[in-house]
């Protein structure tokens, strides 16, 4: 099937790269199945996909925690398996599960980050913890799950990393904290000319903060486009509607808010006037793509250039 969307041109600089990355875990689970991906410098990229799609596995490959079975990953051109300290020095990583040290206070974690990470600046971390009224003297074991995530995110901000790799950073945050963190992240990324990739299932978060959308499904990349392009190139109609636009391609069918069946279509942007279809929201683009990723498991667009 010919792709209607061309991948946006990367200006020769990718903060994170994956080349033909496959990961097969012991027991035979194929978590990643030939991922080619460039995260352009300066972008804030949403990594989306159903549970088990391979998002965390890919992120862990970039930080050198999971070794690809084949293919390669790079952080600003550095292979984390060849030079882990140099790769990690450029990354601010927050794992899906908070990984705080037992028996240490919040302040201990700030001090530890300062001693382990060159250039760590405790200022932004302390400011964020202060805003959230998280006491520095509290043992992190006694914090709530959301507060633990907040500590991890606040520590990541202090790294002034060149690229933030945030695995569902907002999942356990309350709505106000979510919104605040996204503002802080966007400001930090823009101020430092940094890059961020964050996995999320929450589409309002993606709309608020991200400029690029990557969808994984079944360990494969099924979409990789700027968010504006994702919206402008898709249309929605009822499952029965047949567009008049020549070359329109059905992507996936999913339930609408009232239980009706809707189909997402990929159409050329200049044919936005098809009477059978209306504009798609980002949520509908993602729902249609997720539906498509269930079956068949083939890439539809955004192939690497």
Ligand X SMILES: Nc1ncnc2c1ncn2[C@@H]1O[C@H](COP(=O)(O)OP(=O)(O)OP(=O)(O)O)[C@@H](O)[C@H]1O
Binding residues for ligand X, rule: CB under 6 A, are: 25, 27, 29, 31, 49, 51-57, 96
The item of ligand X, Mg ion, none sharing an interface with residue 79, based on CB under 5 to 8 Å by kind, is none
d(C-alpha 251, C-alpha 280), whole Å: 12
Q: Give 56 or 162: the residue with its C-beta nearer to Mg ion.
A: 56
Query: Does position 263 bind Mg ion by CB under 5 A?
Result: no
* Shortest Cβ 167–ligand X spacing (Å): 7
* Shortest Cβ 29–ligand X spacing (Å): 4
The item of Mg ion, ligand X, none sharing an interface with residue 52, based on CB under 5 to 8 Å by kind, is ligand X
* Shortest Cβ 25–ligand X spacing (Å): 3
Can you say whether the dihedral through the CA atoms of 133, 135, 141, 142 is positive or negative? negative
The DSSP output letter for 305 is -
According to DSSP, the residues that pair with 226 across neighbouring strands are: 212
Q: Give 5 or 166: the residue with its C-beta nearer to Mg ion.
A: 166
The item of ligand X, Mg ion, none sharing an interface with residue 53, based on CB under 5 to 8 Å by kind, is ligand X
User: Where are the extended beta strands (E) located within the chain?
Assistant: 14-24, 30-40, 44-48, 70-75, 91-94, 163-167, 195-199, 212-217, 220-226, 234-238, 249-255, 261-266, 278-279
Query: Does position 56 bind Mg ion by CB under 5 A?
Result: yes
The item of ligand X, Mg ion, none sharing an interface with residue 31, based on CB under 5 to 8 Å by kind, is ligand X
Between 122-131 and 106-116, two packed helices, what is the crossing angle to 10 degrees? 160
Residue 298, SS3? Answer: coil
Sequence-ordered alpha helix ranges (H) in 193-252? 203-209, 227-232
- Contact (CB, 8 A) for 67 and 61: yes
The token duo for 88 is 């990690």
* Shortest Cβ 215–ligand X spacing (Å): 11
Residue in this structure with the two tokens 């009822």, named with its chain if needed: 238
How many residues bind Mg ion, per CB under 5 A? Answer: 3
d(C-alpha 216, C-alpha 49), whole Å: 5
* Shortest Cβ 144–Mg ion spacing (Å): 21
Query: Does position 95 bind Mg ion by CB under 5 A?
Result: no
Q: Give 49 or 226: the residue with its C-beta nearer to Mg ion.
A: 49
Q: Give 53 or 87: the residue with its C-beta nearer to Mg ion.
A: 53
The item of Mg ion, ligand X, none sharing an interface with residue 25, based on CB under 5 to 8 Å by kind, is ligand X
The item of Mg ion, ligand X, none sharing an interface with residue 27, based on CB under 5 to 8 Å by kind, is ligand X
d(C-alpha 132, C-alpha 178), whole Å: 12
The item of Mg ion, ligand X, none sharing an interface with residue 29, based on CB under 5 to 8 Å by kind, is ligand X
Q: Give 94 or 113: the residue with its C-beta nearer to ligand X.
A: 94
| Footprint of Mg ion (CB under 5 A) | 55-56, 96
């Amino acid at each position: 099937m010919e792709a209607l969307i061309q991948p946006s041109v990367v200006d020769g600089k990718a903060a994170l790269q994956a080349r033909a990355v496959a990961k097969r875990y012991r027991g035979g689970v194929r978590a990643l199945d030939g991922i080619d991906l460039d995260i352009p410098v300066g972008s804030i990229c949403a990594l989306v996909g159903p549970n088990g799609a391979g998002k965390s596995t890919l992120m862990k490959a970039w930080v050198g925690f999971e070794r690809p079975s084949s293919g390669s990953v790079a952080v600003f051109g550095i292979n984390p398996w060849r030079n882990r300290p140099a790769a990690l020095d450029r990354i601010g990583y927050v794992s899906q599960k908070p990984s705080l040290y037992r028996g240490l206070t919040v302040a201990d974690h700030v001090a530890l980050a300062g001693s382990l990470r060159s250039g760590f600046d405790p200022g932004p971390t302390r400011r964020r913890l202060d805003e959230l009224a998280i006491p520095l003297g509290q043992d992190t074991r006694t914090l709530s799950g959301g507060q633990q995530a907040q500590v991890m995110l606040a520590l990541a901000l202090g790294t002034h990393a060149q690229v933030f790799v945030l695995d569902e950073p907002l999942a356990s945050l309350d709505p106000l904290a979510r919104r605040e963190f996204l503002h802080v992240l966007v400001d930090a990324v823009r101020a430092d000319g940094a890059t961020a990739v964050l996995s999320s299932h929450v589409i309002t978060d993606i709309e608020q903060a991200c400029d690029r959308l990557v969808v994984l499904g079944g360990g494969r990349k099924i979409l990789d486009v700027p968010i504006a392009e994702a919206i402008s190139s898709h249309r929605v109609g009822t499952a029965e509607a047949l567009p008049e636009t020549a070359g329109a391609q059905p992507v996936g069918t999913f339930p609408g808010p009232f239980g009706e069946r809707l189909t997402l279509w990929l159409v050329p942007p200049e044919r936005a006037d098809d009477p059978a279809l209306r504009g798609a929201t980002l949520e509908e683009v993602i729902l249609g793509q997720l539906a498509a990723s269930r079956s068949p498991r083939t890439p539809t667009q955004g192939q690497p250039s």
